[in-house]
Chain A
Amino acid sequence: MFSRVFSLIELARFINCRQAARLLSDAQDRPLSLADRIRLRLHLHWCVACTRYGRQIAFVRGALRRYRE
């Protein structure tokens, strides 16, 4: 019981933009853990800058694909 509450607190631990940017990049190359996905989702909910960053790096990936075609 205690450990369960503790892990929920751990999950809700906020991450900053620096950490979110790293997770957004990693998400393009590896599956994120559930905890990281939740932290990232929470962060993006509030953060316009990181939401843009995520869209922009996805755009860059698509642009490079187009470049090769």
Chain B
Amino acid sequence: MVESRFAAQLETHRRYLLRVATLQLRDSTLAEDVVQDTLVAAIQGEQGFSGKSSLRTWLTGILKHKVIDAIRQKARSPVLAPIEDECRVDDFDALFDESGHWENPPADWGNPEAQLSEQQFFEVMQQCLEKLPPNTARVFVMREVMELETDEICMQLTITSNNLWVILHRARLALRQCLEQNWFAANAGSARTSPSTRV
């Protein structure tokens, strides 16, 4: 009985795990297998869950190893375009003018921490992650969601640290811009007229 309650709790994180796995693997069947493996491992390893971290954090830790295994096994038949295609620094030219100033300087986000209590914010963030180029999304999620060290990512994906930094830089520029356009600017415009703020 207790066991099935734990399984039911795990189930509520399936969608999150699937989205995070898909961002890194770009293969929905493989991602589903990896998530299934993760949930099975979690049920078998229930004793290992101390409750010190959240259940989701714990599951993310298991998923991390499963994703790395999957990437390693797929390394000889890469599904993604060469990672070098996403390492070119001249791609950033459009964001800056000739003298190196921002074409569209970052806007004032006010107090962004207040957004973290809104579920909808995380949905927009997830959508912004999904819009990143495939290798960029993979690397960025490995770094910021899986919290892998940069050396570990370089080793698993066989890229140089400089390429890694360029890709992370690209991800941050793009994600920041996407959040500004789809959340902060959108919210600033609708704040006054939104019925939910008046009620």
Binding site for B on A (CB under 8 A): 16-19, 21-22, 25-26, 28-30, 48-49, 52-53, 55-57, 59-69
Among residues of A, the one whose C-beta sits closest to the C-beta of B59 is A68
Indicate if B112 sits at the interface (CB-CB under 8 A): yes
Number of B residues near A (Cβ < 8 Å) is 39
* B132 at the binding interface (Cβ < 8 Å): no
Known: A59-B109, A59-B112, A64-B145. 8 other contacts (CB 8 A): A16-B96, A16-B101, A17-B96, A18-B100, A60-B144, A67-B145, A68-B56, A68-B60
User: Does any Cβ of A come within 8 Å of B49's Cβ?
Assistant: no
Whether B125 is near chain A, meaning CB under 8 Å from some CB there, is yes
B190 close to A (CB within 8 Å): no
Q: Are B168 and A28 in contact (CB under 8 A)?
A: yes
Interface residues of B (CB under 8 A from A): 53-54, 56-57, 60, 92, 95-96, 99-102, 105-109, 112-113, 115-116, 121-122, 125-126, 143-145, 150, 161, 164-165, 168-169, 172-173, 175-176, 179
Check if B54 sits within 8 Å of A69, measured CB to CB.
yes
Given contacts A53-B176, A63-B116, A66-B116, contact A22 B96 (CB under 8 A): no
Given contacts A56-B176, A69-B54, contact A30 B112 (CB under 8 A): no
Contact A67 B168 (CB under 8 A): no
Leading 6 A-B pairs by shortest Cβ distance:
A16-B100, A49-B105, A18-B100, A25-B169, A52-B106, A18-B96
Given the known interface contacts A26-B165, A52-B108, the answer about A21 and B145 at a Cβ–Cβ threshold of 8 Å is no
| Cα distance, A26 to B57, chains bound together (Å) | 25
